[in-house]
Each structure stands twice: as structure tokens, then as C-alpha cells.
Chain A
Amino acid sequence: MATGSTTPIPVTDRAEASALPSLIKDAGLFALVTLGLCVPIVSYRTDLGQGIGLVITSRWGTVFALCAAIFVLRLVQQLYLTGRARRRAARAPVAEGASRLAAILAPITLVIALTLPLLAALLTGSLGEGRYWIDLGILILTYVMLGWGLNIVVGLAGLLDLGYVAFYAVGAYSYALLSTVFGLSFWICLPLAGLFAAAFGVLLGFPVLRLRGDYLAIVTLAFGEIIRLVLINWTDFSGGAAGISSIPRVSFFGLPFTAGENGFAATFGLNFNAMHRLVFLYYLILALALVTNLVTLRMRRLPLGRAWEALREDEIACRSLGIDTTITKLTAFALGAMFAGFAGSFFAVRQAFVSPESFNFLESAIILAIVVLGGMGSQIGVAIAAIVMIGAPELLRNLGFLKAVFGEGFDPNEYRLLLFGLAMVAMMVFRPRGLISERTPSVTIAERGR
């Protein structure tokens, strides 16, 4: 192996020194497997050439760089793990750190979220300049809301829903169709969209009641795909793959955000600014997300919320104790779907355009990844996961030095989903309870705590 020589790992202690050759062998094996995996899919790239056929170019440099990276990573991981195991053995386990961290992070995140438009305006000079940040905030908050909504189904009730985006689509199309066909305003459509989505939630919930975990996941996946395929193919109803455009914009509870006399700015004696609508949208999604959060937190204290968590832990025990699993599952589906419906109609009013391509399986997977990384049940965890997963790639895109390292054509967004996938696996392997494992049971038995 060409990578065998690149091992300047400092040897700190005698026990590790004796284990080092075996560690190197282990890391070398990893590199060798990586080499095998890279042939030929990384080492030869196929491109459409000038003629008809594909042209192959070899890239062995990339392959060896990848193998070397895996080698070093594995070695570092092994050294770190042996070091940590020793330290852990010497010290009592610390379990409270995570929830304390969450307790600090939650108010900070909330304050930043509440003042983001102001911060953006102050830091960049004017509201117009801060547009990028507010847009990013809206995007992140949409995913926070979707994550919290899905969290009810997956995190609390333990029902793995892979078709969550279907309810998001139902909400979006409800508003799009009701407003363009019947001319209803956003404020009438918003609750209606939630209701429709909830109805779809129950509709899906009924047949899948008897299914166990992974079957349920697959059926919800199929359901989500069916909704999307119907939206694509039923052109008369949904506009087909072209989608629905020129959806009416949001109004300030009836006052349109226009420069005219009856507009928002004129009524409140402000100078007209196109940013008013964006700021309003920002606070709208923030309010919707916070309502989702609040409802979830209150539900967890209700008997129904407790039943959800009981269902997640053990369905058979749950049934034996007389909990009506039908109602429990259906309410979880309906409530989760309702919030997706709200988020969907918000999405439609913000974009002023919906098309089936926004609601593919990948979207479901991203929302699920947010919930999983957040720790399945932890509210702040989900919010932070959404910020990291949606915000980080956006920020990375603007970092110049990455381009300098990886070449001019480097676009972190290309790697975003790849990293999502890796992160999901890594979470399940290393921290199945989430980054911030704050998901404590609502009820604990004091005498026999674990």
C-alpha cells in the first residue's frame, strides 16, 4: 500500500506503543477495503463525450487520497477509542451533561430566532442587505417545524413514517388550489390545509394500524410516493409536473404587502419596503414552529402523550394495560400530519409556486434525518439538527478556502446529502439516542431508577 508510510502518529504511552502495529494493520485493512470499494466506481469516471459513447477518465489519485484518509481516520479513531475507554474506566460516568447543555442552548437559540431579522439588518447594514439571512432563517425554521411535526410521530409515538412529505404536499396543494381556484385567502386556507392534512393522516393511519415497525415504514413510504405520482400525473387536478404557479402572496391579516394606499406600509404609516413581507413570513413560520413545539410539549404531559411514549417503548405492554392503540396511533398520525399541512401551506405562500418535485422521498428522508440526529424525541435536539443540517451547507458554500483546497468547482451542496446519509449511519452506530440525548421519559419511577 502506498499509504503505509504516512503514519506520523505520536506514541504517547507504552501500552499504546505495543498495540500500534496491530492498529496499523487494522487501519491498513480498512484502507485496502476502501481501495476495493473505489474500484472501479471512483477510479474511473464516465462522461458523455463528444461522440455517442461514454468517455472514461481514470482518477487513481483521488482513490489513493481517499484510502489514505480512511487509513488515518481509522487509526485516529482507534487510538482515541482506546484512550477514551481507559479514561472512562477511571471515572464515573457523566450523564447529566447533555441535558444541561440543552437547557443552556434552548433559550439562546430562541432569543437568536426571535431577533434574527433585527440582527441581520444591524449586522449587514439594512434590511435589504440582510435578505439572505432572513431567507435562510425561513428555510431553517420550515425544517424545524417539519422536524417537530415528524417528531410527534417518530420521536414520541415511535411510528417510523417515511412518507411524511406527503402531508406537507397536501398542505401546500390545499393552499395552492384553494387560493387559485376559489380565491380564498391564506388565513382561511391555513387551518383548512391543516385539516386536510390531518384527514390524510387518519386515512393513512387506519390501514396501517396493525403493521409492525418496518412494515409501517414501508407502507408510509409507498403512500408518500403514490401522492407524489398522482400529483405528477393527474394534470387536470394539480397541474401535473409543471406545478401551480402565481399563487397569491401572504397578507398581513388582510392587508396586502403592496405600495398602494390600502397596503400594510401605508396603513401603519411606514415607508414601503419589499422586505416587510419577508420579515412577516419569517415571524409567521417562527410562530407556527413555536406553536408546534408548544403543542408537543403540552401533549407530552397529557394522558395521550404519555400513551404515545408508552406505545413507543412497548406496544404489547401498552395494549395489555388497556391503552387504546388505535386512537393513540391515529392521533399521532393526525397531529403530525396537521403540522406538516400548516408547514406545507406556508411553503406554498412563500414560494408562490408548488410542483410535485418538491415533495419527493428525499425530502422525507431529510426531515427524518433531522429528527434522528436530534435524538428522536428531543425538541431542542431537532431544532439544532435542522440548523446544522440545513444551515451548515449554505454557510459552507460561501467559504472561500474550501474552494482553494478542493478546486474551483467545489460545491458543498453536492456533498450535503452524502454527509446526511453518513451522519444517519454514524448516529445509529455511535449515538443512537441523538446528539443531545435529552429524551427522558416523562414519568420515572423514583425507587428503581436505572
Chain B
Amino acid sequence: MEFFAQQFINGLTLGSIYGLIAIGYTMVFGIIGMVNFAHGDVFMVSAFIALIAFLILTTWLGLSSVALVFLIVLVIAMALTSLWGWAIERVAYRPLRGSFRLAPLISAIGVSIFLSNFVQVVQGARNKPVPPLVRDVVVLYQNEQYTVTLSYKQAIIMVTTAVLLAGFWYLVQKTPFGRAQRAVEQDRRMAALLGINVDRTISLTFVLGAALAAVAGTLYLLYYGVVSFSDGFVPGVKAFTAAVLGGIGSLPGAVIGGIIIGLIETFWSAYFSIEYKDVAAFLILIVVLIFKPSGILGRPEVEKV
């Protein structure tokens, strides 16, 4: 039971990170119907930005307040990654609207290959470790054999995720931008006729997705303390799995899916085999896509001629 509780906490932490990335997939899919294959690599780029910002703040500027460093790194990573998200949409996806069906996906694969190799060229191929920012843990429960702990890191990750999701939910549900976003998602042409700037809305969707990926990237760096240029692919696929599992296009679905995937991965590693943990994620993806492509909260897709 104690072991289970500990794994549950670990899974929830991992799931928060997947959920944050999954939102980027689900929003983009909802609004322009494409799988943004490069999103995982945007996440990886954001982790690198956070890494460098962190190093500059701590070694060059000598900041020692953990909370301040974390906040500044988060803001820098979000801002600069948003720019990446915006630029990618502008250069690689916008000109393809109205092109043939698979063009955006192929372009996205190109962006994905470009991003990971770009980072490899400019930052080198080796793993980049950072010293742990926070080490403290809270002991939640203790008996003779086993201790259940919640580390500060995990707490920070869960709280940050929760706060940002609340803010994000407010943005989509209550603000003019959110209304425009949902309108474009439902019917792009009608939204344009009603005076919504479709291009700008789509751009902003990418920016938001990238910003949330940056949060995930920063938290990932905080949690694992290491990042490499190839770290975008597998978390990207898992987050996509989360988005599909939750019902692609549905925002709460993405978060729920992320948490489910995080829990499954953690429990699978803990109880079965750690080698096959990625296989588990891929199998879930295949099974969900084949048997319930609309996911948990998604609307079934109607094929129209």
C-alpha cells in the first residue's frame, strides 16, 4: 500500500508534465486539425532555454533565492518558447493551409527533425546535467519498512501545473481570445465572417501551446535535472497519446489523459518491467486510436463528404 501511494505520487508528477504538453497537441488539433508533430521538440527546446537561463542566473548573476530563480527561469522559458511556437506556425504551417491532406504533418516532421538537430548542432550531443535546485522532501507517512515522501520538487510541479491550468482555463473560457479560439475551432469560415481574426487566433493558439510546453520543459528539467537534444521525441509521443486518450480537442481531456498516462507508466515500471515502459505507452496509443479514437471526453468525429 505504501509502495502504491509512493508510485501514485510519482505518477501524478509525471502525468502533470505530460498533461501540460498534451494541451499543446489538443489545442492545435482542435483548431486546425493537424498533429503538431514538432510539439515534443518545442518542449525539448524550452528545457534547453530553461537550462541556460538557470545557469546564467545562478553562476553569472549569483542569484540564490530558489523561488526567484525558478520564477524568472519559468518566465524566460515561456516567453522565448512562445516565440519559437509563433515562428514555427508562421513559417512551416500557415503557408500550408489548403494544401493537400498530409502536407502539414510532413512539414511538422521536418520541423521536428530540424529542431532536434539544431539543438544538437548548437549545444552538442551530450546530456546536460544541472545541480538540483531543491532537494527537500516531506515525509507523508512512515512505518518500519517504508516511507512515503513527497519531494518539494514534486509539490512545485503539481502546484505550478494546477495554477497554470486554472489560469489557462480562465483564458479559454472567459476572455475574448478564448471565445475567438473556440469559435475558430468550431467553424473557421463562419468565425472569419463574424469578424474574428482567424490567423491571429491560430497564431495565439500555437503561442499558448508553446508556453505551456515551456512550463513542462522547465518542470522536466527541475524534476530530472538533465536534458539532451533527443529528449523531445518520447515525451512528445507520450503527451500525444495522452491527448488522444483524453479525447483530442478536449482540454480537460488532455490533462486527464496526461495523468492517466503518467500513472500507467509509473505503475508499469514499478510492477512489471521498466524496460517495456515505453512499449506500454505506444500500445495504449495504438489501442485507443483503433478502438476509441474519440477518447474519453472527445466528440466522435463525423466524416463529411
Given contacts A37-B83, A218-B240, A424-B110, whether A160 and B117 have CB atoms under 8 Å apart is no
A422 touches B285 (CB 8 A): no
Q: Is B137 an interface residue (CB 8 A)?
A: no
CB neighbours (8 Å) of B282 from chain A are 222-223, 225-226, 229
Q: Is A335 an interface residue (CB 8 A)?
A: no
- Taking chain A's interface residues, is the majority helix, strand, or loop, or is none over half, making it mixed? helix
CB neighbours (8 Å) of A54 from chain B are 51, 55, 128-130
Q: Is A289 an interface residue (CB 8 A)?
A: no
**A40-95 at interface with B (beta carbon < 8 Å):** 40-42, 44-48, 52-54, 56
Assembly CA distance A211 to B290 (angstroms): 7
Q: Is A395 an interface residue (CB 8 A)?
A: no
Tell me how many residues of B have a C-beta within 8 Å of chain A.
67
A421 touches B131 (CB 8 A): no
A432 touches B123 (CB 8 A): no
Assembly CA distance A422 to B293 (angstroms): 31
Tell me how far the C-beta of A429 lies from the nearest C-beta in chain B, rounded to whole angstroms: 5
Assembly CA distance A36 to B90 (angstroms): 15
Q: Is A423 an interface residue (CB 8 A)?
A: yes
Given contacts A41-B45, A217-B105, A417-B113, whether A207 and B56 have CB atoms under 8 Å apart is no
Tell me how far the C-beta of A447 lies from the nearest C-beta in chain B, rounded to whole angstroms: 25
B53 touches A40 (CB 8 A): yes
Q: Is A365 an interface residue (CB 8 A)?
A: yes
CB neighbours (8 Å) of A36 from chain B are 80, 83
Assembly CA distance A53 to B54 (angstroms): 12
Q: Is B270 an interface residue (CB 8 A)?
A: no
CB-CB contacts of A410-450 with B at 8 A, as 1s and 0s?
00001101101111110111001000000000000000000
Tell me how far the C-beta of B105 lies from the nearest C-beta in chain A, rounded to whole angstroms: 5
Name A39's closest neighbour in chain B (CB-CB). Answer: B80
A221 touches B237 (CB 8 A): yes
Tell me how many residues of A have a C-beta within 8 Å of chain B.
60
Kindly name the residue among A214, A232, A368 whose own CB sees the greatest number of chain B CB atoms within 10 A. Answer: A214
CB neighbours (8 Å) of B118 from chain A are 418, 421
B114 touches A207 (CB 8 A): no
CB neighbours (8 Å) of A365 from chain B are 109, 113
Name B111's closest neighbour in chain A (CB-CB). Answer: A425
Q: Is A233 an interface residue (CB 8 A)?
A: yes
CB-CB contacts of A345-371 with B at 8 A, as 1s and 0s?
000000000000000011001001100
Tell me how far the C-beta of B85 lies from the nearest C-beta in chain A, rounded to whole angstroms: 11
Q: Is A219 an interface residue (CB 8 A)?
A: yes
Name A43's closest neighbour in chain B (CB-CB). Answer: B52
Pick 18 A–B contacts, CB within 8 A, sort by A: A36-B83, A40-B56, A46-B55, A53-B55, A53-B130, A160-B105, A213-B105, A214-B102, A218-B35, A233-B275, A233-B276, A361-B233, A368-B109, A369-B113, A372-B106, A420-B110, A424-B109, A428-B106
